[in-house]
A and B are shown apart, each in its own frame.
Chain A
Amino acid sequence: MIKFQNITKIYPPNTVALNDVSFEVKPKEFVSLVGRSGAGKTTLLRLLLAEEKPTQGRIFFNNHDLSKTKFEQLPELRRKIGAVFQDYKLLPSKTAYENIAYAMEVIGASDSEIARDVAEVLDIVGLTKKAGNFPAQLSGGEKQRVAIARALIHRPEVILADEPTGNLDPYHTLDIIRLLLNINEIGTTVILATHNREVINSLGKRVITLQDGKIIRDEERGRFIL
């Protein structure tokens, strides 16, 4: 489903973020990317979202070479991917409901579909009562649940979660990870980037460990070893 082929990313003048990285992700997999800050986890996810282009190598998404994706085709690609960020990246001028609905509006869903699905997903993330709140009126955990709801509302094929628990306390961390596991169970591929040891060790899923831009370990039922 996703294939990184000899990917190197160098930021000018000569900061090597990724160095000859290759791996594959199969459909419905739950893959964790671990590593210290600056190991290259976020860069990997940014490349997959086509926010950046690799300096060398090719990335395939559903056998489609991302380096050949034109700028006008990017929205179409991104609608197949749901992204969750450490800083939530919610639209501050929209309510929780509107933030989630936005992901459906961009794909051209009808108002009735939006009303039905947003209500459902708000229920899944347990935020029905906070639907009318603006991001500034929500706690960190609630904001992240809105972000996850937005990422999954349009039924993407893959969810990228970049340090989704980075700003959360242990209770909310568990909450979010449980949510991601549920999403994976219903058939969505999940790629989780984190440096949270407890989370990784409790998952028992595939772990790719990065160090200085290189993959140093890729284990089927991995643990956090650095």
Chain B
Amino acid sequence: MFTLIKRAFRSGWKTLIRDGGLVAANIFIMAMVIATVTSLFIFKEASDFLIAKLQNKVDISVYFKYETAEGDILKVKEEITGIPEVKEVAYVSKEEALKNFTEKHQDNQVLMDSLSEVGANPFLASLDIKAFQANQYEAVAKFLDDPTFNSLIEKVNYYETKPVIERIFSLTSNFNKAGIVFSIILAIVAILVAFNTIRLAIYNSREEIKIQRLVGASNQFIRGPFLVQGAICGFSAAMICLLLFFLLMWGFNSRVEYLFPGLSLFQIFTGNFWWILLIQIMTGVGLGMLSSLIAVRRYLKV
């Protein structure tokens, strides 16, 4: 068995070296497949990041009647925090609301003048509620519809922001669905291209395989070198891709970060380095070996 493996490696390696042109073409095609799969992975990570960021910006605010006591508001806050869909609840008192407003609009003289015209603090205390998912706000809003809260709550802005929340929800859900369909189609096309390239390369060896059979070689003995070649091509393609992606992620990092603040492609790459390495090697070596195995099989029937 050891001799068989040793000879498969020796023969596979020699053929690779002697058949440089064809091998380079194979590696190139496989590198494209691996690049596609890696891009899909990074795209998924980046889109998850952007979707999460977008969803994080969505919240609903509950405004309490002017006369509602702070103690009552904090009790409501406690109850809302107990809802499983709720991620966090922040209490903004009347004073904080006024402070936030003046800080934000201190340069706007018209607004400041209007505020001093009113005299007293016109702002209402509120609770800013964030849910885990955009589609969970409906449940939170329904909870607040309860008659026990009617005497305390002035308004819930969910019904005003509902169209925006729903739009974001449908957008992210469609984006995810489209991403999955697009990834599957792209991966299938890439795999078919690589498989056919390898099949074409092995088609050139069909006469050689026939001779090997006639000389008395077993199928296992004939297959070995082709599997080794497939694995080496796949591994080389994976290493080339790894280097290429390292350079691309590093090179484009600042530009992408400028377009999408907070999104660091290089960080996604380094943070998932071992995953990416595993995906690339598995795709390359797996595809190389599987394609070789399937392509050789049809010529082994002599």
Are A and B a genuine interacting pair, yes or no? yes
Contact with A along B284-302 (1 / 0, CB 8 A): 0000000000000000001
Interchain CB contact (< 8 A) of B214 among A83, A92, A154: A83
Contact with B along A116-143 (1 / 0, CB 8 A): 0000000000000000000000000000
| Contact A75–B302 (Cβ < 8 Å) | no
The interface stretch among A24-32, A98-106, A181-189, A213-221 is A98-106
A79 to B3, CA, bound (A): 18
Task: Check: A155 CB closer than 8 A to any chain B CB.
Answer: no
Q: How near does chain A come to B15, taking the closest CB pair, in angstroms?
A: 5
Chain B residues near A105 (CB, 8 Å)?
Answer: 7, 221
A89 to B218, CA, bound (A): 18
| Contact A93–B218 (Cβ < 8 Å) | no
- The CB with the most chain B CB atoms within 10 A, among A77, A83, A92, A106, is that of A106
A93 to B14, CA, bound (A): 9
Q: A78-B216, A102-B215, A107-B216 are in contact. Are A92 and B3 (CB under 8 A)?
A: no
| Contact A91–B208 (Cβ < 8 Å) | yes
Task: Check: A108 CB closer than 8 A to any chain B CB.
Answer: yes
In the complex, the chain A residue whose C-beta lies closest to that of B207 is A89
Task: Check: B212 CB closer than 8 A to any chain A CB.
Answer: yes
| Contact B217–A49 (Cβ < 8 Å) | no
Chain A residues near B14 (CB, 8 Å)?
Answer: 93, 98
| Contact B212–A91 (Cβ < 8 Å) | yes
Contact with A along B213-247 (1 / 0, CB 8 A): 11111100100000000000000000000000000
| Contact B216–A92 (Cβ < 8 Å) | no
Q: How near does chain A come to B291, taking the closest CB pair, in angstroms?
A: 19
| Contact A75–B18 (Cβ < 8 Å) | no
Q: A51-B302, A105-B7, A108-B3 are in contact. Are A89 and B217 (CB under 8 A)?
A: no
Interface of chain B: mostly helix, strand, loop or mixed: helix
Q: A102-B212, A105-B7 are in contact. Are A93 and B18 (CB under 8 A)?
A: yes
Q: How many residues of B contact A (CB 8 A)?
A: 19
| Contact B217–A75 (Cβ < 8 Å) | yes
In the complex, the chain B residue whose C-beta lies closest to that of A107 is B216
A110 to B215, CA, bound (A): 18
Chain B residues near A103 (CB, 8 Å)?
Answer: 215-216
A93 to B229, CA, bound (A): 14
| Contact B215–A78 (Cβ < 8 Å) | yes
| Contact A49–B208 (Cβ < 8 Å) | no
Contact with A along B188-214 (1 / 0, CB 8 A): 000000000000000000011001111
| Contact A49–B212 (Cβ < 8 Å) | no
Given contacts A89-B214, A98-B14, 20 further A-B contacts (CB under 8 A): A49-B214, A51-B302, A74-B213, A75-B213, A75-B218, A75-B221, A76-B216, A78-B214, A79-B216, A83-B215, A89-B207, A91-B211, A93-B14, A93-B15, A93-B18, A93-B19, A102-B212, A106-B217, A108-B3, A150-B215
B residues contacting A by CB (< 8 A) are: 3-4, 7, 14-15, 18-19, 207-208, 211-218, 221, 302
